[in-house]
Structure 1
Amino acid sequence: MKVMNRLDEHTESYYAATANDLQEYPCLEGNVEADVCVIGGGYTGLSSALHLAERGYRVVLLEANRIGWGASGRNGGHVGVGQRRSQGDLEAMFGFDTAKQLWDLSINAVQLVESLIVRHQIQCDLKRGIMHLAAKSSHDKYLQDETEELRDKYDYRQVEYIEKEEVRELVSSKRYLGAQLDFGSLHLHPLNFALGLARAAVSAGARFFECSGVQGYSSSSPFTVKTARGKVKAEKLILACNGYLKDLEPRLAGHIMPINNFVLATEPLPEGLAREIIANDFALQDTLFVINYWKLSGDNRLIFGGGENYTRRFPKDIRSFVRKYMLRVYPQLENTAVDFGWGGTLAITMNRMPCIGQLQSGLYYSQGYSGHGVPTATFAGKLLADAIYGESEGYNVFSSLPKVEFPGGTLLRWPGLVLGMLYHSLLDRFGS
């Protein structure tokens, strides 16, 4: 894959450097009208714009920076089945019937990502398979039990458990015990997937405006959405801002917590070394609370994510910050150069389930994917389009889930989160 020198306004990441087509869209100037105005140019906004435009709606999408500029263009590229919470947790929280609905919808979400890539011929290094690696003996037992339950209770046959010896053959790391192989999940180049969705939406008739941050909107439909240089008048409004919502909508801000996650990309690895560390070319993630996750890029770089922080600032040296996590897994990469290091902001919820719904008539939103955004956000965009169109079965499942506000709202959520994360990081280090 050819590496570009021109990064535009995207963060200096491997993804931006290998973007297929950093198409520039105009800034909104003057007044326009639409059936639906979408705020946010990540997966949720792009997917909703695409599915609405394909159904004949006049769609205007406003993005404060560039399309795919946020988490949708910076993440690890894992497209996993399931929700952010385990099926056992979901059964305890909502009962088996709802847990089964959420499982089936997660399968639909992964299938949607793949079908969009195929239908719109999006070149995004699509590969199959995710491996979940047990970091502790209790995690190993959990993966064994979950594999059996997924096969027996949910009739999911694309998953199997493997023992420690086979794990070491596939991963070449002594850090992990058993593992769960998931053949139904995918992984990809996330920014190129986002850019492909954008091209498809524009081809279907949607109008995109970049560098058009929203300053506010009127209180009822038809909505008037204001930017620095223009206005959009629309019957329906979709908020698809996620971790970048800030103070645009106070009624939603307290339900999510923005946190930062960090990723590196090594130099291209020799073929032998690449196959040594990931023999089956799956994406991998471990079972720690603050997970490590990694995969090989289309040109054999190791894309490795590790470490979080909960402030508004990124580490000064992201490459070094993430590299220490990588070397705990692969000390054999001590002399491997790290070419890129970058961070991004995502949004988590209290119950780690997406927060989807309608604030009032005509005002829809989706946010809080808690690190499971590639399939979930893409699917959420379709569900919002379905709800506007009048087909709301899947939307109703998610919109009916409890929406838990962080204690203390936006003012006190930060110290509470830091204390909680400190507790879980201690469990990661010292628990069994």
Structure 2
Amino acid sequence: MNQPMGSETSQTWYEATAPAPSREDLGPPRGVAACDVCVIGGGLAGITTARELQKRGRIVVLLEAKQLAWGASGRNAGFVGNGFAAGIEEIIERVGLRNAQALYRLSAHGTEYVRREVQRLDASIKMGDGIIIAQRVDDPAGARRYAAMMLRDFNEGLDVLSTEQTREILVTDRYYQSIRNPRSLLIHPLRYARALADDAQHCGVKIHENTPALSVRKEGTSLVVRTAYGEIHARHVVHCVSSLDRRIHPPTGRAVLPVATYVAVTEPLEQDAIRVRSGIGDMRRAGDYYRLIPDNRVLWGGRITTRVSTPSRLARMLKQDMLSVYPQLGAPKIDYAWAGLMAYALHKMPLIGRAPDGQWFATAFGGHGLNTTAMAGLLLAGAIADGDDEYRRFAAFAPRWAGGPFGRIGVQANYWLMQARDRRDEKAARQVRLAAE
């Protein structure tokens, strides 16, 4: 499920509805400080890693260039479910079924971590249960086959809804069968990130916002992180910067592609088109994702581009997408619209591991980050504090050059190709339906 990843434009609905942080603002560090671990990047991966290390008895400093969770972690769609941006079939093809099963279990640990921490920190962060993925082609056998495979090979129980059942809760003729995962959940991601950061600071993590890390160098047995006003000397450095800073750690910076996607939130609506509070997406290669949020607003996301700037017609574009599925919504006013950046590796799997120079990294969560950032934080905390080598399962997805500007051109061309294939498949499905009638 593609989710928006960070932008400096326009206020989001999340920002308008999240309480202010309660933690102390430490400001940029000055002079020389020492710690066990310096975490660079204050998104969910960085916050979780720092918090889990501090709980394991390590002294941790976290540096964030702007504000915590201002990017991906506080601006996404709020869908929390098992899996990765890469499809399960792609993962099996690359590493085999057994390794794919182990990776999937790790992703599920991330989901359960979020579920547990949401309940412990602030139950109001949770906004619903379940994710429904709808088919825009008539393929009941395909839906049943996929659900059977997920249960047999990954112990993931999915509900298959018929066309009639799907259209009863999602009133549109664009959808046929759907697959529902009842174990997934929906959250307010910015509230979650802020609550997790408040708790991390309460545990002892020293959090410094508005503090870009300018460089990292080796000095004896320590790594030295330079900031504008001082230095942090640490035994370990962990990079969790997504696509928003690709210079600080070249091995991962050159391996990620910044990919933009968009979200809009309507005014409060009186509607009977979307009759469920679950998260909803479709099975297109380049699909929409949406859900009802408080005040009966619709949060609608979609589109993928390598264009980083915000299009001037963003709200209108997303409204058109929404009305193409639910024309009965009329002409709703868009109260919030924002663009954001995701970090993708070419294989669409997270980059988690340790570079030859000893620096750690966790990035490229590719629009499926709410569970996998938690998973990454747990893996790296276990590796650094306890010597656990479970993180090595991601060695098959090591960083490799993503092609620079040529990679971005390729991503954009591939997205246009996916759109064309989606249109072809849906047109064929309509023709089959008309012939049957």
TM-score normalized by structure 1? 0.91
Conservation of the 8 A alpha-carbon contact between 1:10 and 1:66? no
1:385-431 deviation line (CA, Å, top 9, x unaligned)? 11101252531222x22326345x32421222222222112112223
Conservation of the 8 A alpha-carbon contact between 2:111 and 2:374? no
Cα 1:122–1:207 shift into 2, 3 Å: farther
Q: How far 1:163 moved relative to its partner?
A: 0.8
1:205 aligns with 2:204: yes
Match of 1:277 among 250, 256, 273: 273
Match of 1:297 among 289, 293, 306: 293
User: 1:268-347 to 2 correspondence within 5 Å?
Assistant: 268-270=268-270, 273=271, 276-347=272-343
Q: Which residue of 2 aligns with 1:428?
A: 422
Q: Which residue of 2 aligns with 1:18?
A: 17
The one-letter amino acid paired with 2:14 is Y
Cα 1:313–1:141 shift into 2, 3 Å: farther
The one-letter amino acid paired with 1:239 is H
Q: How far 1:361 moved relative to its partner?
A: 5.0
Structure 2: tracts of 5 or more residues without a match? 1-7, 427-437
Conservation of the 8 A alpha-carbon contact between 2:169 and 2:274? yes
Match of 2:413 among 412, 419, 424: 419
Q: Which residue of 2 aligns with 1:55?
A: 56
Conservation of the 8 A alpha-carbon contact between 1:74 and 1:343? no
Q: Distance in 1 between matches of 2:67 and 2:142?
A: 41
Q: How far 1:363 moved relative to its partner?
A: 1.0
- Calculate the aligned-residue CA RMSD, in Å: 1.9
Conservation of the 8 A alpha-carbon contact between 2:21 and 2:195? no
Tell me whether 85-94 or 281-290 shows the greater mean CA deviation. Answer: 85-94
1:405 aligns with 2:406: no
The one-letter amino acid paired with 1:192 is R
The one-letter amino acid paired with 1:342 is W
Q: Which residue of 2 aligns with 1:233?
A: 233
User: 1:123-202 to 2 correspondence within 5 Å?
Assistant: 123-137=124-138, 141-157=141-157, 159-202=158-201
Q: Distance in 2 between matches of 1:154 and 1:33?
A: 44
Cα 1:108–1:128 shift into 2, 3 Å: same
The one-letter amino acid paired with 1:429 is R
Conservation of the 8 A alpha-carbon contact between 1:235 and 1:362? no
Q: Distance in 2 between matches of 1:156 and 1:342?
A: 33
Q: Distance in 1 between matches of 2:105 and 2:304?
A: 30
Paired residue secondary structure (2:397): coil
Q: How far 1:122 moved relative to its partner?
A: 5.3
Q: How many residues align?
A: 416
1:57-95 deviation line (CA, Å, top 9, x unaligned)? 111111111111001111111111122223332222211
Q: Distance in 2 between matches of 1:46 and 1:10?
A: 23
Q: Which residue of 2 aligns with 1:3?
A: none
Tell me whether 320-329 or 17-26 shows the greater mean CA deviation. Answer: 17-26
Tell me the percent identity: 28
Match of 2:385 among 382, 389, 406: 389
1:35 aligns with 2:36: yes
Q: Distance in 2 between matches of 1:174 and 1:406?
A: 43
The one-letter amino acid paired with 2:234 is A
Q: Which residue of 2 aligns with 1:352?
A: 348
Q: Distance in 1 between matches of 2:39 and 2:9?
A: 21
The one-letter amino acid paired with 2:204 is G
Q: Distance in 2 between matches of 1:30 and 1:344?
A: 32
Q: Distance in 1 between matches of 2:389 and 2:269?
A: 46
Conservation of the 8 A alpha-carbon contact between 2:21 and 2:198? no
Runs of 4+ in 1 over 6 A off after TM superposition: none
1:93-126 deviation line (CA, Å, top 9, x unaligned)? 2111101112212221111110111222353133
Q: How far 1:135 moved relative to its partner?
A: 1.8
Paired residue secondary structure (1:296): strand
Q: Which residue of 2 aligns with 1:267?
A: 267
Q: Distance in 1 between matches of 2:51 and 2:141?
A: 42
1:118-164 deviation line (CA, Å, top 9, x unaligned)? 222353133210001112235x543321101112233323x111111
Q: Distance in 2 between matches of 1:63 and 1:100?
A: 34
Paired residue secondary structure (2:124): coil
Conservation of the 8 A alpha-carbon contact between 1:307 and 1:325? no
Tell me whether 62-71 or 377-386 shows the greater mean CA deviation. Answer: 377-386
Q: Which residue of 2 aligns with 1:250?
A: 250
Cα 1:410–1:375 shift into 2, 3 Å: same
Q: Distance in 2 between matches of 1:371 and 1:268?
A: 27
Q: How far 1:250 moved relative to its partner?
A: 1.8
Paired residue secondary structure (2:296): coil
1:80 aligns with 2:89: no
Q: Distance in 2 between matches of 1:11 and 1:233?
A: 37
Paired residue secondary structure (2:195): helix
1:316-348 deviation line (CA, Å, top 9, x unaligned)? 232112211111122122222211001111111
Paired residue secondary structure (1:218): strand
Q: Distance in 1 between matches of 2:321 and 2:141?
A: 24
Q: How far 1:295 moved relative to its partner?
A: 1.1
User: 1:348-387 to 2 correspondence within 5 Å?
Assistant: 348-387=344-383
Q: How far 1:11 moved relative to its partner?
A: 4.7
Conservation of the 8 A alpha-carbon contact between 1:125 and 1:298? no
